[in-house]
Amino acid sequence: MTPDRRDDEAEGLGQYLELAREIRREIERFTSDDSALADSLGSALDAIPRRERERLAQATFDRLGPDQQWQVIERVFDDAEVRALLETRRARRVAEAQAAEDRRAVVNTAVRADCLDLLTLPDGATLTLGLFRPRDVRAAIGRGQNSDVCARSLELRTTPTPGSFRVIDDVFNPRGGLFVSAEYDQALWRSERLVGHSTVRVGSLAGATLEPTLYLGGRVDVGTDGATMAGHLHLGFALIAGEVAFPGPSA
């Protein structure tokens, strides 16, 4: 017997070993419960092979090529069932594609080159900002959300007031890879941390005015309760409704 065949056989036996363990657990549960009925044990044991058959059948089907899968479908289902199955799958894929297109349209409207216009975001859209120390941000732009040196991550949600956001989360060193220094440490983050569910504005300070615009690589400033604060960190990446706002090598 070849090593590959032995591995396949061992994998198959492993599946049945788990089934045997499940059957044993059901029996032990039954014998330890004086109130359990024989019918309940029988039903439980009947259910186990059925679940296992479904799992093994699905695993086997998934390993088949597209042509073989179609042959199985044609033999198992009649024409009406096949049409219903395909129509359900088609409707789901069309809905997923439309949702993805809608998200991309929002991004395309908001982003112009390396500039993000926050006033164009619709109500209820999520905005995730990856913030970096000034000396890290240029290198981080190429890696986007995959960069390990993201100092702070802001998750915001737009409100009915354009340019205003509800704070969902504010996380220090989200990927755990930042080499913390006095330039930006946890104490500094705590001093400017945004309170969850509070309402804030973000953007770029121009004099005393907080413009509702963010620039890739530029500083991210914040407005709260009528006051504005110059940020310590710069924008390395942004996600709008889960879509990458500034595509790069990591997109």
Please tell me the predicted confidence (pLDDT) of residue 71: 75
Q: pTM of the predicted model, to two decimals?
A: 0.63
> What one-character DSSP code corresponds to residue 83?
H
In a domain, 97, yes or no: no
When divided into structural domains, the chain yields a total of 2
- Among residues 75, 96, 119, the one where a domain terminates is 75
- Among residues 75, 94, 122, the one where a domain terminates is 75
Q: In DSSP terms, which residues pair with 72 in a beta bridge?
A: none
Quick one: pLDDT band at residue 150, thresholds 50, 70, 90? very high
- Among residues 18, 51, 75, the one where a domain terminates is 75
Q: Could you tell me the residue range of the domain that residue 134 belongs to?
A: 109-244
- Nearest-5° angle of CA 90, CA 95, CA 97? 95
* Cα end-to-end span (Å), the chain: 46
Q: Are residues 138 and 238 in the same domain?
A: yes
Query: In 125-241, where does DSSP find H-type helix?
Result: 134-141, 186-192
Q: Are residues 71 and 127 in the same domain?
A: no
In a domain, 191, yes or no: yes
Q: Are residues 165 and 207 in the same domain?
A: yes
Q: Locate the DSSP E strands across the chain.
A: 111-112, 115-117, 126-132, 152-158, 164-172, 199-206, 209-211, 213-215, 221-224, 227-229, 234-240, 243-244
Q: Are residues 129 and 227 in the same domain?
A: yes
Q: Are residues 154 and 68 in the same domain?
A: no
Give yes or no for a contact between 167 and 200, defined as CB atoms under 8 angstroms apart: yes
Least confident among 30-34, 48-52, 145-149, 150-154: 30-34
Give yes or no for a contact between 241 and 125, defined as CB atoms under 8 angstroms apart: yes
Is 103 in a helix, a strand, or coil? Answer: helix
pLDDT at 46 over 80: no
> What one-character DSSP code corresponds to residue 123?
T
pLDDT at 190 over 80: yes
Q: Are residues 53 and 145 in the same domain?
A: no
Q: Are residues 124 and 199 in the same domain?
A: yes
Q: Are residues 119 and 239 in the same domain?
A: yes
Quick one: pLDDT band at residue 152, thresholds 50, 70, 90? very high
Q: Are residues 124 and 192 in the same domain?
A: yes
The segment with the largest mean pLDDT, out of 78-82, 176-180, 196-200, 246-250, is 196-200
How far is residue 45's CA from residue 41's CA, in Å, rounded to a whole number?
A: 6
User: How far is the CA of 240 from the CAs of 111, 188, 243, 244, in angstroms?
Assistant: 10, 27, 5, 7
> What one-character DSSP code corresponds to residue 219?
B
Q: In DSSP terms, which residues pair with 117 in a beta bridge?
A: 213
In a domain, 178, yes or no: yes
The mean pLDDT of the chain is 81
In a domain, 103, yes or no: no
